[in-house]
Amino acid sequence: MTTRARANGEGSIYPYRNGFAAYVWVTKPDGKRGRKYVYGKIREIVHEKWLKLHQQANAGPVSTRVPTLGDFSTYWLREIVQPNLAPGSYVTYEAIMRLYVIPGLGKRRLDKLRISDVQTWLNALRRECQCCAQGKDVRRPPAKRRCCALGNCCDNVPSATTVVHIRRVLRTLLNQAITDGHMSANVARHVKLPSARARKRRAWTSDEARQFLESARADRDPFYAAYVLVLVLGLRKGEMLGVTWGGIDLDAAELVVDMQLQRVGHDLLHRETKTPTSDDTLPLPEICAVALRERAAAQNVAREEAGEAWRRSSLVFTTRFGTPIEPRNFNRYWDRRCDAAGVRRITIRDARRTCASLLADLDVHPRVAMQILRHAQFSITMEIYTVVSSAATRAALKKLGESLDH
């Protein structure tokens, strides 16, 4: 007597090896029809999988072959990330997949990936020297090798912040894999990691900012206006380097922030800001307007001196030949000016934190400062304005708005 393998209406559930299997006809992502199989030890489990597969097939295309994480990442980067996200995001995601995720998990099939696989991999990654793992020292010319290639491991392990970012990118990829029907749960979501401490941000006092700007002005630094826009308007480095003359109205004392200059791989891109919330029209305090007028005059002189070698563009800040300023080079100019001014070295990003105190010391109206600082509530601006610097500092800052000839 034979045992009936299928219940009424099941049709495509049948004994398979030591358990059961089932299939459903689905439409694949390429538009063709094919069978998608599910397996299990007992009929009840297979029946549940079979019903879920029917729902997926009715909802949209279903892949009949579950790819490895490495194969899927190639599709994800090419078809999802690159066309839809900022170029910088693509470069970051591609590097994380190539350097960390694919070497560790790339051969795992998506439907076989478990929480324990990701947890164990990330735990090991936090202890592994990446100079050894990625062959950084080995790739150097023999004469320049200095650590791991010589047997002296530099113990270059990823920081806690880097590991958190790697997990975040993997989680984003697996969300897409769920959307595409390759897996049912995001295993990276449940991985435990130690908390990453945020780096304590630094800022200058008003006296240090004044000393920095006075030094740049006294030395007729060609980037004096750039420093003013960073410190007084709080512009990001890319936003400042991407400012165009078309976005400046000196008569109305306004500056439009809607573009940025960004290095992405081998390309230097002049593109829109990262998000629409970054775009704004900012009022120009007098110190900014004066600095920009001086910058316009200096650029006209540079254009005449360069002659035919001048590269025409609408950028406010350019080299002496009219070409865009390389962002990394601007970091060097900033650091050299810090040293020349005798102030602490802080990053350009940290310098933005000084903006609020400078606006208060320049007697900029609180409502104008609120717009510049992009505060959602006026009370936040007023809290800053209750802390003021000495009268000497305030007077010195106001003098920076005068012409260089005085």
The SS3 of residue 107 is coil
| Helices 224-233 and 206-218, packing angle to 10 deg | 160
HEC profile for 82-104?
Answer: HHHCCHHHHHHHHHHHHHHHHHH
- Fold classification of 69-190 (topology level): DNA polymerase; domain 1 (1.10.150)
Q: Band the pLDDT of 84: cuts 50, 70, 90.
A: very high
The reported pTM is 0.68
Q: Band the pLDDT of 376: cuts 50, 70, 90.
A: low
**Mean per-residue pLDDT, 99-121:** 94
Distance CA 376, CA 353 (A): 17
**Which residue has better confidence, 200 or 28?**
28
89: Cα within 13 Å, side-chain hemisphere: 16
Q: What is the pLDDT of residue 398?
A: 56
**Which residue has better confidence, 68 or 36?**
68
Q: What is the pLDDT of residue 396?
A: 53
Q: Which residues contact 70 (CB under 8 A, 6 or more apart)?
A: 102, 105, 106, 107
pLDDT in tens, 49-63: 899 888 888 887 777
Distances (CA, A) of 13 to 3, 24, 34, 406: 14, 10, 16, 91
Domain boundaries, the chain: 13-59, 69-190, 206-399
Q: What is the pLDDT of residue 175?
A: 93
Distances (CA, A) of 84 to 61, 63, 80: 21, 22, 6
The SS3 of residue 294 is helix
pLDDT in tens, 201-218: 677 888 888 899 999 999
**Mean per-residue pLDDT, 240-259:** 91
Judged against a pLDDT cut of 80, whether residue 370 lies above it is answered with no
**Mean per-residue pLDDT, 157-165:** 91
Average pLDDT of the chain to the nearest whole number: 84
- Fold classification of 206-399 (topology level): hpI Integrase; Chain A (1.10.443)
Judged against a pLDDT cut of 70, whether residue 220 lies above it is answered with yes
Residue 157 dihedral angles phi and psi, to the nearest 5°: -85, 150
Q: Band the pLDDT of 322: cuts 50, 70, 90.
A: very high
343-368: b (≥16 Cβ within 10 Å) or e = beebebebbbebbbbbbbbbebebeb
Is there a contact between 358 and 397 (Cβ–Cβ < 8 Å)? Answer: yes
